Amino acid sequence: MSNQNGWPPGNGWPPAPGAPPPPSQPQSTPGGFGQAPPTPGGFAPPPQPGYGQGFPPPQPGYGQAPPQPGYGQGYPPPQPGYGQGFPPPQPGYGQAPGYGHPMPPGPPAHGGSSGMSRVAGWGGVVLTIVVVLALKLVARGAVRGIFDRSSDRPVLSGVTAPLGVVTQRTLPPDEQVSAKLDPYITQCLNRFSSSVLRSRRRYLSWTTAVDGPTGRERNVFGLFQVSGNPADCATAAQRSAQMQPSLPDVEAAAQRYIAALQTVQPVIEQAHAYYSRNNYRDDQMAQGRAMHAPLMQAFSSFDEANRQLSSAVEHHQDLATTQLLARLQSDPSRQFECRLRSNQRLARQIVNLVDKAQVSNEGFIEGIDPAALLALTGAYEAGIDAMARDAAARPSEAAAVRMYSSYARASDEYLTAAKSFARRLRDHVAYNPRDLEGPFADSRDGTPQKVVREFNDLVRAYNFLF
């Protein structure tokens, strides 16, 4: 029912007793806070969508508009990967306990590992290097192909002074080695290797090393940039070469690494610009096909140089670690530190053995002695239990190790992953090819990739101890 002016019931209709008749037009202005003028036919237009009558609707993303798919109202969806907007962790490399000397704090290392040194704490230099974990598909004695799993696996360095003590002193031989290796690791391997190898993995996630891009791909993801200036690595290597002791194998490997880095970075930058700007849509992927061979050659040369430098650095760290642990064992005030160092060395030995994994055509892991791996995991488990007892028996020493509880948890998680892989190896359980491929291989129980991922997490936890 409507009144004589065509207004709908309500809005002051019917009028209160004694009230004047309604005007022929409403008293509010068009678009204002009140009733809009009646339309022909006698009914007012419906209220505007949004917040109240007569107001424009709110902008999308704030309140009334439907939320965009993803994380919260009006935000783009998170990127796939490890958490919101982060790429999945890369399978990669490990850490060798080592050595160092008190130095001023340095910049953070790539990938979340600690920087060159910490003045407080144990006074050691935390170093990281890059080596390679590769799963090889073998056909009973012959290599048929490679599942590339290259990335960063940090390698520990060492404790030099007692907890909380920083002094100026003559460095023992093992610490001289650590001081010499530090620039190679923090300014070369740790800054650039994981970035280059991650860029290669990104590129090969949508194309193949043999055929390259065709222009018919459903998804073209391009590749990641490599930040930083290779000149920083060259300067660090020159500085280290002047330090004692002389390490000719490391110094020669560093020069090959620098040359490979200076070659691969500009090629990556050129390809990144091409793909990020979608230029392949303008030339039917012609330039992408032309860039493929030089890009793969540069990746291959860098991978080999990275392996050589990583191997040389880790070799000398191992030798120095033996000397370091011998000194710690003779110092009653550093027994908890010695236990922690010994455990970390065992952890690295496990991941180095896992690095030898090969996959047969039938899906079985080969190239690893199950008894040797089980012996290492057993020794590591005993070391973790002993470390927990030492922490309880020496609460003051344990309290001086910041974030020790996080490291203890990471140790347990790494042990669980290593034992799961060792059991599968012992029981001769075959893998489905999908278990070992794709970005989620490092989240599947019993895979070598998960062992490496948990080791990476252990390394990061260790780096926070300093």
Query: Which pLDDT score is estimated for 149?
Result: 34
- Six-digit token string for 1: 């029912």
Most confident option among 50-54, 150-154, 216-220, 289-293? 289-293
Q: Provide the angle, in degrees to the nearest 10, between the axes of the packed helices 335-354 and 404-426.
A: 40
For residues 19 and 271, the model is more confident at 271
Residue 35 pLDDT greater than 50, yes or no: no
Q: 365-366 and 358-360 as β-strands: parallel, antiparallel, unpaired?
A: antiparallel
383/343 Cα distance (integer angstroms):
6
Query: Which pLDDT score is estimated for 138?
Result: 30
Q: Is 133 helix (H, G, I), strand (E, B) or coil?
A: strand
User: Is the full-model pTM beyond 0.75?
Assistant: no
- Six-digit token string for 450: 């998960």
**DSSP codes, 355-379:** TT-EEETTS-EESS-HHHHHHHHHH
Only one residue has tokens 């948890």, namely: 409
Q: CA angle, 465 as apex, 400 and 315 as ends, to 5°?
A: 125
Sequence-ordered alpha helix ranges (H) in 228-369 = 230-241, 248-276, 286-329, 335-354
Band of residue 462 on the pLDDT scale cut at 50, 70, 90: confident
Residue 106 pLDDT greater than 80, yes or no: no
Q: Tens digits of per-residue pLDDT, 355-371? A: 888 888 888 998 999 99
Query: Which pLDDT score is estimated for 432?
Result: 86
Burial of residue 134, with CB atoms counted within 10 A of its CB: 0-12 exposed, 13-18 middle, 19 or more buried: middle
Residue 197 pLDDT greater than 50, yes or no: yes
Mean pLDDT across 39-52 = 45
Tell me if 287 sits within 8 A of 279, measured CB to CB: yes
Ranking 73-77, 135-139, 447-451 by mean pLDDT, the lowest is 135-139
Q: 365-366 and 132-138 as β-strands: parallel, antiparallel, unpaired?
A: unpaired
On average, the pLDDT of the chain sits at 73
Ranking 37-41, 181-185, 278-282, 371-375 by mean pLDDT, the lowest is 37-41
Share of the chain above pLDDT 90, in %: 46
Band of residue 133 on the pLDDT scale cut at 50, 70, 90: very low
**DSSP codes, 34-99:** SPPPPPTTS-PPPPPSSSSTTSPPPPTTSSSSPPPSSSSTTPPPPPSSSSTT-PPPPP-B------
Query: Which pLDDT score is estimated for 439?
Result: 66
State the DSSP code for 10.
B
Q: Tens digits of per-residue pLDDT, 261-302? A: 999 999 999 999 999 999 999 999 999 999 999 999 999 999
Residue 72 pLDDT greater than 80, yes or no: no
The phi, psi pair for 144, rounded to 5°, reads -100, -25
HSE at residue 339, side-chain half, CA atoms within 13 A, is 23
**DSSP codes, 158-212:** ---SPTT-----PPPHHHHHHHHHHHHIIIIIIIIIHHHHHHHHHHHTTS-TTT-
Tell me if 197 sits within 8 A of 306, measured CB to CB: yes
Mean pLDDT across 256-265 = 98
